[in-house]
Amino acid sequence: MTDNNESARTHWLYEWIDAYNIKSRDDLLRHAEIPATLERLHDIATKVPAWHAKPAPQERSIVAGGTLDLSGRITCGAAACAKKRIDRIFGQIWHYFDSIVVEGPSARSTVRALETMKKRERPAFFFTLWEEIDLLLYARKIGIVDNLVFREKPHAFCDHHLRENAAEAGIAAAVDGNLRKEIAKELKKSSTIQLTPEGDAWRYFISNPEFSETFSGRYRHSSKKGAKPSKQQAAEAAVRRCSAALVFDAAMSRKLGLPLVQEFSFLWPNQSMTEDPESLESRVALQLPLPVLQGLAARDIVRFRADHKPHFERFQHALTEAIREQADRVGTSSPANIAAAVNEDFIRPAMADIERSMIETKRLFGTKSGTSIAVGTAIAGAGILSSIPLVIASGLGAAVTVTLASANSYLDSKKDAKLSDVYFLWKATKMHNK
């Protein structure tokens, strides 16, 4: 899972973290008093391109939208919230994709702060910097760094280029002013909006059943300093911000030639950005209703995939073939319809076959489905005793007598299960239910 240029996918802040062995907030604050270390931080951040797409990841990859990446631009920037976000995005994509293109802590913001901040602003800067470092250390600790490809996204288009990029991506509705106002009205009706003063501006907090987390932003009146906005104005500001972020995400997605996973369902017009077969496969994979996968933590996901790599690769390949087959059968107009067909015709029947087989063979041992049976060691020690019944303790502690033929039947079923294209998914389900 490597690029030709590995440094192009690693977050720039890791270089500074490793150079000074930053492992705690105290480490950071100690180095904050040394001008040379901050000069090094400035030098590293300055070398990061304003935004770049190439080189694209070589493995199966996807671009994380603004509410799923690790930049904190659209969502809460606190490490605690970002860590939950990591679990959320991995739960959505790990069954098909190998890596995620994300935006992390901004090099541009760091450079700007180092060059312009006043003495009284230093505590806030280092508070934010530690939150960013804490998140990156966490990503390294749980072993997902190799699954992340860090890229700086665009964040400043003039009106012409904003509209141009939206049109090219097939999301012109995202920059339609009248439509945005209508969306804001609906958002206001269905949301809880709170407003709190913040200096000469106001901060709004929008909670909605459709949002994965509370949306927050800053509102400053264009002409009346400190004027409190209405809830409608706050909703309109949120929609404008989300619309712009959606266009920026789409621009990155198109530049990389990768699909985009995003949560702006109230803005997305349900149009495909590209029509190539690989894009269709990715969009269908994102629509698959596999809720069990979304209940696992990112660290467990990465470890589980590594421990069951051959089975995962078999499942990944079989899933791709199933998507292609269903796309040929039902057409390519709706990824959701194709995903439903894949689930009904491929995943559910195969999962049921494994479960039925395992239940039947475990019944021979007087055990319940899901109870582990330690037959391997017992059979290995049987040797020439093939004609003698074995006594094996069941999961309930009762002794049951089974023939070696029954034990062999159980092992054959286990072997057949492991050869199933969906064995990886079945194992994940069992792990989730433990």
Q: Exposed, middle or buried by CB within 10 Å (0-12, 13-18, 19+), for 103?
A: buried
Of 222, 219, 164, 161, the C-alpha closest to 194 is: 219
Residue 261 lies in a domain: no
The amino acid that residue 244 corresponds to is A
Q: Does one domain contain both 365 and 404?
A: yes
Residue 262 lies in a domain: no
Q: Tens digits of per-residue pLDDT, 99-147?
A: 889 999 999 999 999 999 999 999 999 999 999 999 999 999 999 998 8
Question: Average pLDDT over the chain, rounded to whole?
Answer: 76
Residue 197, strand partner residues: 202
Q: Tens digits of per-residue pLDDT, 278-306?
A: 577 888 887 776 655 566 788 887 887 88
- What is the percent of the chain where pLDDT is above 90? 24
Total count of residues recorded for the chain: 434
Residue 379 lies in a domain: yes
What's the mean pLDDT in 150-156? 84
Q: What is the pLDDT of residue 274?
A: 44
Q: Tens digits of per-residue pLDDT, 411-425?
A: 444 444 444 656 566
Q: Tens digits of per-residue pLDDT, 334-370?
A: 787 888 888 788 777 776 765 666 555 555 544 443 4
Answer whether residue 175 shows pLDDT above 70: yes
Q: What is the pLDDT of residue 267?
A: 57
Q: Which of 150, 176, 208 delimits the end of a domain?
A: 150
| Contact criterion met (CB below 8 Å) for 55 and 79 | no
How far apart, in Å, are the Cα atoms of 230 and each of 55, 134, 282? Answer: 45, 36, 40
Q: Does one domain contain both 89 and 179?
A: no
Per-residue confidence band for 400, with pLDDT thresholds at 50, 70 and 90:
very low
Q: Does one domain contain both 202 and 167?
A: yes
Q: Does one domain contain both 175 and 221?
A: yes
Q: Does one domain contain both 106 and 193?
A: no
Instruction: Identify the residue with better confidence: 176 or 229.
Output: 229
Q: Does one domain contain both 144 and 178?
A: no
Residue 43 lies in a domain: yes
Instruction: Round to the nearest angstrom and report the end-to-end CA distance of the chain.
Output: 30
Give the C-alpha separation, 281 to 272, whole Å: 12
Per-residue confidence band for 394, with pLDDT thresholds at 50, 70 and 90:
very low
Instruction: Identify the residue with better confidence: 265 or 253.
Output: 253
Per-residue confidence band for 5, with pLDDT thresholds at 50, 70 and 90:
very low
Answer whether residue 433 shows pLDDT above 90: no
Those residues with Cβ within 8 angstroms of residue 377's Cβ, 6 or more apart along the chain or in another chain: none
Q: Does one domain contain both 121 and 166?
A: no
The number of domains in the chain is 3
Residue 125 lies in a domain: yes
Per-residue confidence band for 188, with pLDDT thresholds at 50, 70 and 90:
very high
Q: Does one domain contain both 353 and 415?
A: yes
Per-residue confidence band for 53, with pLDDT thresholds at 50, 70 and 90:
low
Q: What is the pLDDT of residue 171?
A: 79
Q: Does one domain contain both 105 and 132?
A: yes
Q: What is the pLDDT of residue 231?
A: 94
Q: What is the pLDDT of residue 75?
A: 83
Per-residue confidence band for 329, with pLDDT thresholds at 50, 70 and 90:
confident
Per-residue confidence band for 234, with pLDDT thresholds at 50, 70 and 90:
very high
Q: What is the pLDDT of residue 244?
A: 87
Per-residue confidence band for 397, with pLDDT thresholds at 50, 70 and 90:
very low
Q: Does one domain contain both 74 and 15?
A: yes
| Contact criterion met (CB below 8 Å) for 279 and 304 | no
Q: Which domain holds residue 10?
A: 6-150
Q: Does one domain contain both 201 and 72?
A: no
Q: Does one domain contain both 320 and 184?
A: no
**The pTM is what?**
0.73
Per-residue confidence band for 23, with pLDDT thresholds at 50, 70 and 90:
very high
* Sign of the CA dihedral with 329 first, then 335, 339, and 341 last: negative
Those residues with Cβ within 8 angstroms of residue 413's Cβ, 6 or more apart along the chain or in another chain: 357, 358, 360, 361
Answer whether residue 3 shows pLDDT above 80: no
Q: Which of 131, 150, 169 delimits the end of a domain?
A: 150
**Most confident option among 123-137, 153-167, 173-187, 380-394:** 123-137
- What is the percent of the chain where pLDDT is above 70? 72
Residue 209 lies in a domain: yes
Residue 55 lies in a domain: yes
3-state secondary structure of 333: coil
Q: What is the pLDDT of residue 333?
A: 64
Residue 249 lies in a domain: no
Q: Which of 150, 181, 207 delimits the end of a domain?
A: 150
